[in-house]
Amino acid sequence: MLLQRTLTAIVLIVVLLAAGLSPVNWPLLVFFGVAASACLWEWMRMTLGGGRMGVPAVVALAFLCLTLLVSFQGAGAVVNTFPVTDRLRGFMAVVLLAWVIIAGAGLYGGNATKPSRSLGLSLFGLLSVFAAWLALVYVYEQAGVVFLVSFMGLVWVADIAAYFGGKALGRRKLAPSISPGKTWEGAFFGVLGSVVWVIATQAWPGSFAAYLFGEFSWWFVVVLTIALAVLSIMGDLFESLLKRRANMKDSSRLLPGHGGAFDRLDALLPIAPLAYLLLTRPL
């Protein structure tokens, strides 16, 4: 399983880098569009039901068509289609706040036995996936592939550090009724790994960390990184809660060794809007 998981991760990273380094922008936009649409389909299968087809498939297909229409409009496709406005920034802020409130409330209650079907959570999923897709592609178009990869690297490092830290030293369960394998010790190492990553990559020109340290004081960067890491953990746990309620081990079987697209994007969904807000903040 670990070998399969590693090979799949390597393939995904190679595809991501190849698309990001392409002289044209549409390969990466298509990659994100397909990934986001698959994530949306998996989310809505858990909150609306319908098996492999039904409403979740129709909504995901419509979303994919939207992303593809945008992807082939040339340079600045997303920026031109969705120009930065106070309303759009407000939308991103609302989605970010919704993650804190909805996911926080769900995780605090820890009720994994509630019925999985929920129109409200389905709508939340649609808005969350759209916001994350828009934010990540905007980051790519405006800040470049190095910024994008280093930002996503924060989540990858947190995930790896949490996994190995929890395996080695994990004792106290973080959310036993939702995700029994996760521990407070693992979460601590995940947050620590994120902080180390940001500090270590601040000298990387064009990186997310370089941008943060160029715009904010060092202590604010550390606090912001901790907040990002905590939000990513919340995203991971919230997906686990949805899977528990839907009695599913993985969101799908699209990615060998990993499960589905939602299993890989769950930690990115809540923090992507914050990256957008940081990049578009008024001077």
Model pLDDT, residue 38: 94
The token pair that represents 174 in the structure block: 């973080």
Summarised one tens digit per residue, pLDDT across range 177-207 is: 888 889 999 999 999 999 999 999 999 999 9
Backbone angles phi, psi at 175, to 5 degrees: -150, 75
Model pLDDT, residue 109: 73
The structure tokens 């990993």 sit at 258
10 has a pLDDT exceeding 70? yes
Confidence class for position 3, pLDDT limits 50, 70, 90: low
Model pLDDT, residue 239: 93
How many Å apart are CA 50 and CA 205, to the nearest integer?
Answer: 47
Summarised one tens digit per residue, pLDDT across range 51-94 is: 556 889 999 999 999 999 988 887 778 888 898 899 999 999 99
- CA distance readout (Å), 143 to 9, 35, 55, 76, 189: 24, 21, 36, 12, 29
150 has a pLDDT exceeding 80? yes
Q: What is the mean pLDDT of the chain?
A: 89
Model pLDDT, residue 257: 64
The residue segments making up the domain with residue 180 are 2-279
Tally of structural domains, the chain: 1
226 has a pLDDT exceeding 60? yes
Higher pLDDT, 223 or 17: 223
The structure tokens 């904010």 sit at 216
CB 25, CB 141: distance < 8 Å: yes
The token pair that represents 154 in the structure block: 């924060």
